[in-house]
């Protein structure tokens, strides 16, 4: 009896499950889609029976533009006037509209390219426009006439010195000069030839001595003009050998200095040097007089320059070669010791098909340019090569003579992405 009861109980559970579970066909997606499609077709058939629907349907078909894949969709001929989309991925935009949107075009052609190499550099003084002022004899500093940072002109007094050796030389010159004038006035007929020549040589030697000690010709003439022995005090001035800026004046008044001590350093900073450090292989590709550009570290403005020299000895620490660039500095933008960025150009390449770097944009992972065909703009994938300066080599995908967009490519890319997003929403 217990077995019969259990059997009836199992049959009851099965019956309940069959009642609760939905039919298997109701969970089939294909069947469900078919059902929905059927309902849609029925509604459309009912709609066709309504009066006036045929005219509305024709107008709707007329307004919609195909996307090129056989399906009907919504186009953009709704009177916006900005751009039209024909086949997929193509923009329609006439020349007037392109100009209004800042889209510029140009003809692709072959051109020789220069490779531009960038390297760190340091500004240094132009040694060919720099001079040091040093005494030639032991002397004491009596007065200073120029200071650090001042602009001086050639021949301007810088410092007054006093020297015992100079006093002796000045006295000797005055004595020799007076004797030579007397002998010369008497003439060769009165004095012997030997005395005449001796007086002449003595005067010349005394003149050479004070000249070698540091007096200028103008200072010597002023000393001899008066012929007064009391003026042989041993004082003399050191003059600026060139025009420029005082960049060094390491001394104090009253100091006793020895020959060779640098008192002043004067440099013309309107033209400076920049030492660029390059690997030997790269430095070998830089020619003398090659164009260059220099930019202050952290700056934005480039200043033109040119290569004037290349070193032939490697730096023992960095194992690099220095390339010297001459740069104009009339605006006082650069200063010795300043770090800069240097861009150097190598020799020109053979003519290559190249377009401005701004004409190439990345679309779907591929470098792309926009080709212009009448009023249509076609995104064209290309294979790029080397980039030199503001130009990119095109190896394939574009031919010389074809017109491309060189400015405004980001605007065109945005329009294409916008149209694709709209199509995805519609479907």
The pLDDT tens digits of the residues spanning 176-192 come to: 999 999 999 999 889 99
Q: How confident is the model at residue 382 (pLDDT cuts 50, 70, 90)?
A: very high
What is the token pair recorded at 298? 């952290």
Q: What letter would DSSP give residue 133?
A: E
Mean pLDDT of the chain: 81
Q: Which residue has the higher pLDDT, 72 or 414?
A: 414
Does the pLDDT at position 75 exceed 70? no
Q: How confident is the model at residue 166 (pLDDT cuts 50, 70, 90)?
A: very high
CATH 2.40.30.170, the chain: domain bounds: 271-348
CA distance 200 to 182: 11
Residue 57's pLDDT is: 39
Q: Which residue has the higher pLDDT, 14 or 277?
A: 277
388-394: average pLDDT: 87
21-25: average pLDDT: 42
Does the pLDDT at position 265 exceed 70? yes
Does the pLDDT at position 225 exceed 90? no
Residue 230's pLDDT is: 83
Percent of the chain as helix, strand, coil, to the nearest 5 = 35, 30, 35
Q: Locate all alpha helices (DSSP H) within 124-192, ordered by sequence.
A: 164-186
Task: Find the range with the poorest average confidence among 90-94, 169-173, 275-279.
Answer: 90-94
Fold for domain 271-348? Elongation Factor Tu (Ef-tu); domain 3 (2.40.30)
pLDDT (tens digit per residue) in 318-338: 899 999 999 999 888 999 999
CATH 2.40.50.100, the chain: domain bounds: 136-266
Does the pLDDT at position 59 exceed 90? no
pLDDT (tens digit per residue) in 127-160: 999 999 999 999 999 999 999 999 999 999 999 9
What is the token pair recorded at 13? 């559970």
CA distance 192 to 41: 144
CA distance 403 to 390: 18
Residue 257's pLDDT is: 96
CA distance 339 to 296: 7
Indicate yes or no: pTM above 0.75: no
CATH class name, domain 136-266: mainly beta
Options 2.60.120.310, 2.40.420.20, 3.40.50.970, 3.40.50.11540; CATH for 85-112+351-426 is: 2.40.420.20
Which residues lie across from 162 on neighbouring strands? Answer: 140, 235
CATH 2.40.420.20, the chain: domain bounds: 85-112+351-426
């Amino acid at each position: 009896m217990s077995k019969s009861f259990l059997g009836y109980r199992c049959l009851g559970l099965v019956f309940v499950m069959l009642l609760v579970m939905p039919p298997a066909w109701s969970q089939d997606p294909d069947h469900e889609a078919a059902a929905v499609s059927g309902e849609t077709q029925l509604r459309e058939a009912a709609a066709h029976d309504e009066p006036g629907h045929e005219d509305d349907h024709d107008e709707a078909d007329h307004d919609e533009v195909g996307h090129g894949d056989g399906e009907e969709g919504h186009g953009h001929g709704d009177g916006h006037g900005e751009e039209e989309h024909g086949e997929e991925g193509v923009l329609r935009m006439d020349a007037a509209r392109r100009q209004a949107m800042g889209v510029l075009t140009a003809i692709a052609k072959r051109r020789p390219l220069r490779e531009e190499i960038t390297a760190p550099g340091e500004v240094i003084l132009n040694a060919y426009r720099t001079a040091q002022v040093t005494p030639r004899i032991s002397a004491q500093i009596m007065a200073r006439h120029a200071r650090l940072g001042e602009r001086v002109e050639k021949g301007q007094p810088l410092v007054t010195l006093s020297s015992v050796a100079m006093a002796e030389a000045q006295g000797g010159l005055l004595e020799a000069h007076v004797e030579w004038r007397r002998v010369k006035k008497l003439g060769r007929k009165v004095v012997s030839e030997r005395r005449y020549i001796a007086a002449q040589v003595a005067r010349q030697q005394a003149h050479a001595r004070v000249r070698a000690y540091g007096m200028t010709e103008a200072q010597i003439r002023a000393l001899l003009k008066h012929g007064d022995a009391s003026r042989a005090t041993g004082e003399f001035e050191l003059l600026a050998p060139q025009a420029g800026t005082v960049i060094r004046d390491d001394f104090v008044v009253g100091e006793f200095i020895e020959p060779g001590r640098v008192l002043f350093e004067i440099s013309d900073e309107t033209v400076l040097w920049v030492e660029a450090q390059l690997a030997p292989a790269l430095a070998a590709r830089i020619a003398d007089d090659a164009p260059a550009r220099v930019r202050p570290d952290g700056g934005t403005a480039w200043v033109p320059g040119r290569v004037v020299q290349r070193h032939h000895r490697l730096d023992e620490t960095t194992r690099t070669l220095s390339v010297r660039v001459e740069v104009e500095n009339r605006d006082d933008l650069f200063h010795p010791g300043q770090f800069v960025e240097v861009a150097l150009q190598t020799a020109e390449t053979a003519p290559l098909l190249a377009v401005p770097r701004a004409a190439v944009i990345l679309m779907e992972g591929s470098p792309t340019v926009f080709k212009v065909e009448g009023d249509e703009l076609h995104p064209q994938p290309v294979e790029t090569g080397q980039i030199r300066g503001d130009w990119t080599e095109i190896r394939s995908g574009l031919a010389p003579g074809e017109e491309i967009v060189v400015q405004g490519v980001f605007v065109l890319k945005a329009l294409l992405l916008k149209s694709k997003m709209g199509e995805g929403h519609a479907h």
